[in-house]
Amino acid sequence: MASIELERVTFTYPDAERPALSRVSMKAAHGEFVVLCGASGSGKSSLLRLIKRELSPGGRVSGAIRLDGTPIERWPAREAAAAIGFVMQHPDNQLVVDTVEHELAFGMENLGLEPGAMRRRMAEMAGFFGLEPLLDRRTDTLSGGQKQLVNLAAVLMLQPRVLLLDEPTAQLDPLAARELLGMLKRLNEEWAMTIVLSEHRIDDLLPIADRVVRLDGGEVVFDGSPRDYAREAVRRGDPAWRLSLPGVTRWALEREQPAAAPHREPPLSVKEARGWLPATGEISSVPFESAVAVPDVSAPRREADALLSADGVFFAYEKHAPAVLQGLEWQLRAGDWVVLFGGNGSGKSTLLQLLAGLRQPQRGHVRLAGAKFSRISPAERFAAIGYLAQNPVLHYAHDTLREDLRQAARQAGLSDPAAAAERAAAEFGLAALLDRHPHDLSGGEQQLGALAMTLMSRPRALLLDEPTKGLDPLAKLRLAEHLSALHRDGTTLLLATHDVEFAAAYATRCALLFGGVIVADGAPDDFFRDNLFYATSLHRLFRTHGRTAEEAGAR
């Protein structure tokens, strides 16, 4: 008997012209680890929410969804809530109380667990996730990655038999993402917990998954093993499939076609790909796929004037708390395309908010073109600096995407807000979604809509906090096209991200925030060369062969 079973499930949102899911049939056996993938808006989040009865979206549903052979609507509410755990795509949407300790206890209190049992589970889970130092912290002061770990720990407090996760690594730094996936693998192997996980970045998931299910337009178009998925992605030749593979898998399969070497299994990790490296001779490689030119960071660049600068900036969220930024001195130069790296809680989002004028430093100054923020009017600052928040939902305040875009156009002072909204939606591929409620959009669609609103004012500097999270590979390419066009037109870009592959392909500078200060800042090639975790899979592969990815011609 399957742990989770969907049989010919069709779901349509209210007033939608076509279903979000169409005749979907799939199973997850007891103890199986299933990865859901597919383009933004393909139905992954809708599918997961239908399984979690309490979060099921409004609309028309047909077909059957069963848990342990019993339709989910027949399960008693208390048992169903405990049996299926759900970790949402946006961690802020799941946090409900003030402190980490209270958040961890909230679900157990609602289910009426005894105080002794609650304390035992709290001690075990806080230790397992390393959350003990955070128990007294307010949840609104945590980084996005820390919030995600707290949500996962709170869900596991109820000891569910099925765990559903919607893009759980999107806001985690590379090391934290690997630690989280390691924890999930342990839960899967040691507790035989059934896991169904939706992700766009599946580089680290393919080696540990039992099955991959791909959705396209709300339909299941693939259901099989990770290695079969890799073969199918190359066989199809569809960029949307091929770009979903890990870099080392694409490199290996396109270097030596499986038909020429049927005995060789497609490599799913750097370790497996080492066997594909030649002992001697040149290494042929597969560059990062892009429809736009990658900036030439090897050419000498004139030292430009500072557009935004932090001069001795100190910032702490609470009076007696340790400072997140400690005397930070840093400049964003005009014409830069900078990617800011750092661990979860290192202060990346805080720094972007300070540079956007959304927070004020306790000591030090932030300047725009040499002028202190205190001497610049809010309207002037808004026109000069665009900011995309880590959670795109924060940018929406109306019932439709159309009205949110129109309001952004009005705030930017555009003469025809309605026409501007139509143009922006068409430019970002959102024209068909203009009358949808923003909360009914996928995470990737919400991200693109928020970016479209941010760009209405045509800012001189654009600050983006995790802009690629929730985007499928093709959507990332479209985002890169937009950002590259803006960069060519003179917009200065600063991106805080954990997406190493994206940064390696497009950035002109990479910086690393640690201990409240910038500890590394330079050209991408120099930045990635000696890193273990902040490096692409191809960088790691070629370094084991005694060569850098750049020397091998791979980027």
- Whole-number Å distance between alpha carbons of 191 and 186: 8
Per-residue pLDDT of 377-386, as tens digits, reads: 888 888 899 9
Q: Do both 36 and 166 map to the same domain?
A: yes
Mark whether 30 and 116 lie in a shared domain. Answer: yes
Q: Is 324 among the domain residues?
A: yes
For residue range 189-226, list pLDDT tens digits in order: 988 899 999 988 888 899 899 999 999 999 999 999 99
Query: Rounded to the nearest 5 degrees, what angle is found at the Cα of 157, between the Cα atoms of 152 and 161?
Result: 85
Distance, CA of 472 to CA of 464 (rounded, Å): 17
Indicate whether 127 and 214 sit together in one domain. Answer: yes
Same domain, 223 and 314: no
Instruction: Decide which of 164, 199, 231 is a domain's last residue.
Output: 231
Which of 197, 231, 265 is the last residue in one of the domains?
231
Average pLDDT value for residue range 99-106: 92
Q: Which tokens is 383 given?
A: 């026109």
Q: Give the pLDDT mean for 122-132.
A: 86
On whether both 352 and 472 belong to a single domain, the answer is yes
Assigned domain for 548 exists: no
Answer yes or no: is pLDDT of 143 > 70. Answer: yes
Is 135 among the domain residues?
yes
Average pLDDT (505-518) is: 92
Closest CA to 311 of 334, 333, 329: 329
Gap between the Cα atoms of 525 and 554, Å rounded: 11
Residue 51 contacts by C-beta under 8 Å, 6 or more apart in sequence? 4, 6, 65, 67, 72, 84, 162, 164, 196
Closest to 8 in 3D by CA, of 26, 20, 33: 26
- With 0-12 CB in 10 A as exposed, 13-18 as middle and 19+ as buried, what is 8? exposed
Is there a single domain that holds both residue 188 and residue 76?
A: yes
Give buried/exposed letters for 352-374 (b at 16+ CB in 10 A, else e).
bbbbbbebebeebebbbeeeebe
Q: Are residues 337 and 438 in the same domain?
A: yes
The 8-class DSSP code of residue 392 comes to: G
- Is the domain of 79 the same as that of 176? yes
Q: What is the pLDDT of residues 66-76, one digit of tens each?
A: 999 999 999 99
Place of tokens 């068909």: 432
Last residue of one domain, picked from the residues 202, 231, 260: 231
Residue 284's pLDDT band (boundaries 50, 70, 90)? very low
For residues 48 and 33, is the Cβ–Cβ distance under 8 A? Answer: no
- Lowest-confidence segment of 33-37, 172-176, 220-224 by average pLDDT: 172-176
* Mean pLDDT of the 246-269 span: 71
Structure tokens at 256: 């030596």
The verdict on residue 437 lying in a domain is yes
Same domain, yes or no: 317 and 170: no
Please report the sign of the dihedral spanned by the C-alpha atoms of residue 247, residue 259, residue 206, residue 268.
negative
pLDDT at 83 > cutoff 70: yes
Question: How many structural domains is the chain composed of?
Answer: 2
Residue 545: band (very low, low, confident or very high) from pLDDT cuts 50, 70, 90: low
Q: Specify whether 312 is located in the same domain as 222.
A: no
CA neighbours closer than 13 Å in the CB half-sphere of residue 293: 6
- Give the pLDDT score at 60: 93
| Domain residue limits at 354 | 306-522
Percent of the chain with pLDDT over 70: 90
Question: Which of 232-236, 255-259, 404-408, 503-507 has the largest mean confidence?
Answer: 404-408
Torsion of CA 510, 540, 229, 193, to 10 degrees: -90
Q: What percent of the chain has pLDDT over 90?
A: 44
Residue 341's pLDDT band (cuts 50, 70, 90): very high
Q: Tokens standing for 392?
A: 């795109």
Structural domain contains residue 360: yes
User: Region 473-485: what's the mean pLDDT?
Assistant: 85
Residue 253 belongs to a domain: no
Q: How far, in whole angstroms, is CA 248 from its chain's centroid?
A: 20
Domain CATH number, residue 159: 3.40.50.300
For the chain, the average pLDDT equals: 85
pLDDT at 285: 41
Confidence band for 525, pLDDT divided at 50, 70 and 90: confident
Residue 167 has pLDDT above 90, yes or no: no
Q: Are residues 138 and 36 in the same domain?
A: yes
Higher pLDDT, 324 or 170: 324
Between 76 and 148, residue with greater pLDDT: 76
73 lies in a domain?
A: yes
Residues 204, 315 share a domain: no
CB-based contacts of 135, cutoff 8 Å, min separation 6: 99, 100, 101, 104, 126
The pairing of strands 2-12 and 21-29 is: antiparallel
| Structural domain includes residue 317 | yes
Q: Is the pLDDT assigned to residue 145 strictly greater than 80?
A: no
